[in-house]
């Protein structure tokens, strides 16, 4: 496939904007379809007028960002292509700083006129006008259809709450929320709050809520991902936060834990159980052979290319400790393939490799740039695309940041930066 092709990009978050800029620079005609009326994806906060009980559904909520959200990565490891964060930004930027930066990037790259806002992607079909040797794809959106030579899905795995089995939690008579709709600690003033899950959301929210709530319980399975060093005893803003085992069931206002402990008179249980692609999206791909589980769309060759139709790609379906960096390498690899500069193995080999992929075999695609397989992955994309891999300094900053978060979970964003 050569240049001057028409490419549809689904989503105008960081992945869509980075991909759009790289493909545009490579002389493709890009059209970004964005379901919201704004760009920036997760970073574009969406105020909510009411508190949301997950049992009522979360349709119409598109962003998990809350007013106090600050990056958990230093700005140097959230680079946009050839567009560094301004020097006067804090090391750990606020969410609205990131959003402003994305806006400036879109303007600088002249991407704005390529974005179709309020266009929700609905379905993809092989076009009926496809001629031999020239395949086209029809994109159906909430505002009509269009035909393209290639499609890049940048609609992210942060679009929807990932939920545990809700059945045992349904008898809870307090409010059952998900971190996806959290918009600040005031809603929990004088409340007794339990949080389920101790990933980045559970860690950040429990500490923030402890400023307002009378009591906060952070509950997680000991084997689950513990971002920060386990804490024993009381901590938090008013010494009102403690750690406990994972939630197994609820009854009335009681939250029951896996070690038999019972947390009584709980007002709110917040599920901090992560995010996933919008489930509606998985059903929107009937003819592609792609199937989705909770966490990703698979199987994809190199977690990127559809094995049978490599002009269909999905950039943001894998978790990565430094997503902006990954998106740039993925975009360069897509551009290289579409331009005919990168040769992929044949369809059978792609399918085999996709199914055998180590990331895929884990069931849960959870990879960090620091892990050997992640680096190999990014290095492989870099070498395919003929561009330098992430620098040693970038990797050192990521490693130092992880250490800092682990050692100073409450204050790492405000401490002076010491590399190593």
Ligand X SMILES: Cc1cc2nc3c(=O)[nH]c(=O)nc-3n(C[C@H](O)[C@H](O)[C@H](O)COP(=O)(O)OP(=O)(O)OC[C@H]3O[C@@H](n4cnc5c(N)ncnc54)[C@H](O)[C@@H]3O)c2cc1C
Contact footprint for ligand X (CB under 6 A) = 10-16, 33-36, 41-43, 62, 64, 71-73, 78, 120-121, 154-156, 158-159, 201, 275, 278, 281, 316, 323-324
- DSSP category for residue 374: H
Tell me if 311 sits within 8 A of 318, measured CB to CB: no
Cβ-based nearer residue to ligand X, 255 or 290: 290
Sheet hosting strand 262-263, strand order edge to edge: 247-251, 254-257, 262-263
Beta carbon of residue 165, minimum distance to ligand X (angstroms, whole number): 22
Residue 393 falls in which region: left (phi positive, over 0), alpha (psi -120 to 50) or beta = alpha
17 versus 353: smaller Cβ distance to ligand X: 17
The CB-of-254 to ligand X minimum distance in angstroms stands at 29
Least distance in angstroms from the C-beta of 167 to ligand X: 26
Instruction: Please identify, using beta-carbon distances, which residue of 121 and 301 lies nearer to ligand X.
Output: 121
- CB nearer to ligand X: give 96 or 258: 96
What DSSP designation does 185 have?
A: G
CA 49 to chain centre: 24
If we measure between CA atoms, which residue out of 346, 319, 345, 314 comes closest to residue 331? 314
For 9, list phi and psi in degrees, rounded to 5: -120, 125
Q: Which is nearer to ligand X, 61 or 256 (CB)?
A: 61
Angle at the Cα of 198 (from 192 to 201), degrees rounded to 5? 85
In whole angstroms, the minimum distance from the beta carbon of 107 to ligand X comes to 17
| Choice between 205 and 268, CB closer to ligand X | 205
Contact assessment for residue 34 and residue 11, using Cβ atoms and an 8 Å cutoff: yes
Q: In the complex, what is the shortest distance from the CB of residue 34 to ligand X, in angstroms, rounded to a whole number?
A: 5
Residues 126 and 288 sit within 8 Å (Cβ to Cβ): no
Q: How far is the CB of 316 from ligand X (least distance, A)?
A: 3
Determine whether 316 is exposed, middle or buried from the number of CB atoms within 10 Å of its CB (0-12, 13-18, 19+).
buried
Please say which residue, 13 or 174, places its beta carbon nearer to ligand X.
13
Q: Are 185 and 347 in contact (CB under 8 A)?
A: no
Q: Which is nearer to ligand X, 335 or 398 (CB)?
A: 398
Cis omega (within 30 of 0) on the bond before 299? yes
Q: Using CB atoms within 10 A of its CB, is residue 313 exposed (0-12), middle (13-18) or buried (19+)?
A: buried
Rounded least distance, CB 153 to ligand X, Å = 9
In the complex, least distance from residue 225 CB atom to ligand X, rounded to whole angstroms: 14
């Amino acid at each position: 496939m050569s240049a001057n092709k028409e490419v549809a990009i689904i989503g105008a978050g960081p992945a869509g904007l980075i991909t759009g800029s790289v493909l545009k620079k490579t002389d493709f005609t890009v059209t970004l379809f964005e379901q919201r009326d704004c760009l920036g994806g997760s970073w574009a906060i969406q105020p909510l007028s009411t508190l949301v009980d997950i049992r009522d559904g979360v349709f119409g909520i598109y962003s998990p960002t809350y007013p106090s959200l600050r990056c958990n990565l230093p700005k140097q490891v959230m680079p946009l292509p050839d567009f560094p964060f301004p020097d006067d930004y804090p090391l750990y930027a606020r969410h609205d700083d990131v959003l402003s930066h994305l806006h400036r990037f879109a303007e600088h790259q002249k991407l704005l006129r390529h974005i179709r806002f309020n266009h929700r992607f609905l379905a993809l079909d092989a076009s009926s006008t496809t001629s031999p040797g020239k395949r086209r794809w029809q994109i159906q959106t909430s505002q009509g259809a269009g035909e393209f030579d290639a499609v890049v899905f940048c609609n992210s795995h942060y679009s929807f709450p990932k939920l545990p089995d809700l059945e045992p939690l349904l008898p809870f008579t307090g409010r059952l929320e998900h971190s996806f709709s959290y918009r600040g600690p005031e809603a929990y003033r004088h409340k007794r709050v339990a949080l389920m899950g101790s990933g980045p959301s559970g860690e950040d929210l429990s500490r923030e809520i402890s400023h307002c709530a009378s009591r906060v319980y952070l509950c997680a399975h000991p084997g689950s991902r513990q971002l920060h060093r386990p804490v024993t005893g009381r901590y938090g803003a008013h010494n009102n936060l403690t750690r406990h085992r994972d939630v197994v069931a609820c009854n009335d206002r009681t939250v029951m834990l896996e070690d038999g402990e019972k947390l009584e008179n709980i007002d709110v249980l917040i599920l901090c159980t992560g995010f996933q692609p919008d489930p509606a999206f998985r059903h929107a791909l009937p003819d592609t052979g792609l199937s989705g589980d909770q966490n990703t769309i698979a199987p994809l060759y190199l977690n990127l290319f559809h094995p049978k139709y490599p002009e269909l790609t999905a950039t943001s379906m894998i978790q990565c400790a430094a997503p902006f960096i990954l998106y740039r390498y993925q975009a360069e690899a897509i551009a290289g393939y579409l331009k005919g500069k990168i040769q992929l193995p044949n369809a059978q080999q792609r399918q085999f490799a996709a199914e055998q992929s180590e990331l895929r075999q884990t069931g849960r695609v959870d990879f960090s740039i620091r892990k050997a397989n992640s680096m190999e992955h990014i290095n492989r994309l870099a070498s395919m695309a003929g561009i330098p891999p992430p620098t040693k300094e970038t990797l050192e900053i990521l490693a130092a940041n992880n250490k800092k978060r682990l050692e100073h979970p409450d204050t790492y964003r405000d401490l002076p930066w010491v590399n190593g």
